[in-house]
């Protein structure tokens, strides 16, 4: 309890009680004819001091051994750079998935979603900052263990896996696309912008669209019903 934590710079005792515990003061030199009680007290303090030192050494050896064995099964971090596309683990978002519908089950949720664009790389801490428009209030920096590189489909090798992207619909001479759903919103001036996913298009084609362009859109009404 009195050992200083390397991360906090304080001992657990100091953080809990606001002070450091009183330790046994060093004994004075033994008198010319020490009594049996004096000798016993010195022996006890010497033994306690030695035990504490041994315990600290054992903890240090244990930490080194644990780190050694853990590193044997670890691999080097992927070399991400700004602009890369990655997939994000959904492990810590199962509750959010279940709340979107009464009949949703967490085990049927996809394990990774995306792709998301890398906006920052922090190699010293193995963290990567990504743009997650579907979660504007979430902290956008994740450890590399929660990410994996996005690999798009090779249309030449697997043409049947490439989904056909629907073309626009002409309305009064203007090209329009069908909105599948609204993903997120953000405040812009006096109005809102909405992150829109279009029917038949992948996440990489999602766009922020001004609210005035989505007036009388059923997807927008459903979005606000779920938010409220």
12 vs 27 pLDDT, higher one: 12
142 and 163 in a single domain? The answer is: no
Assess whether 17 and 45 both reside in one domain.
yes
Strand partners, 179: 198
Tell me, what CATH number does 215's domain have?
2.40.50.40
Q: Is the pLDDT of residue 26 over 60?
A: no
Does 78 reside within a domain? no
**Residue recorded with tokens 């690999």:** 151
User: Do 89 and 132 fall into the same domain?
Assistant: yes
Residue 183 CA to residue 26 CA, distance in Å, equals 67
What is the percent of the chain with per-residue pLDDT over 70, rounded to a whole number?
78
Q: Are residues 39 and 64 in the same domain?
A: yes
Q: Which domain holds residue 94?
A: 85-149
Asked whether residue 60 is domain-assigned, the answer is yes
pLDDT value, residue 128: 93
For range 185-202, the mean pLDDT: 82
CA distance 75 to 213: 48
pLDDT bin (cut points 50, 70, 90) of residue 195 is: confident
Do 145 and 169 belong to one domain?
Answer: no
Is 6 inside a domain boundary? no
pLDDT one-digit tens code per residue, 95-146: 776 666 667 677 777 788 878 889 999 988 889 999 887 676 778 899 998 9
Q: For residues 37 and 64, which has the higher predicted lDDT (pLDDT)?
A: 64
Whether residues 68 and 29 fall in one domain: yes
């Amino acid at each position: 309890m009195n050992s200083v934590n390397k991360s906090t710079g304080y001992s657990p005792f100091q953080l809990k009680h606001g002070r450091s515990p009183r330790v046994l003061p060093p004994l004075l030199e033994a008198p010319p004819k020490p009594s049996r009680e004096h000798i016993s007290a010195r022996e006890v303090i010497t033994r306690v001091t030695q035990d504490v030192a041994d315990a600290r050494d054992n903890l240090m050896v244990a930490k080194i051994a644990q780190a050694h064995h853990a590193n044997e099964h670890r691999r080097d971090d992927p070399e991400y750079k700004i602009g890369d596309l990655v997939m994000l683990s959904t492990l810590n978002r199962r509750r959010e998935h279940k709340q979107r519908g009464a009949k949703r089950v967490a085990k049927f949720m996809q394990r990774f979603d995306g792709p998301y664009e890398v906006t920052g790389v922090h190699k010293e801490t193995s963290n990567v900052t990504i743009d997650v428009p579907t979660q504007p209030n979430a902290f956008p920096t994740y450890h590399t263990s929660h990410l994996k590189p996005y690999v798009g489909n090779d249309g030449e090798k697997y043409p049947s896996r490439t989904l056909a992207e629907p073309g626009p619909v002409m309305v009064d001479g203007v090209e329009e696309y069908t909105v599948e759903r609204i993903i997120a919103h953000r405040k812009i001036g006096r109005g809102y912008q909405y992150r829109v996913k279009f029917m038949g298009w992948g996440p990489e084609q999602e766009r922020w669209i001004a609210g005035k362009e989505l007036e009388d859109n059923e997807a927008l009404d459903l979005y606000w019903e779920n938010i409220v």
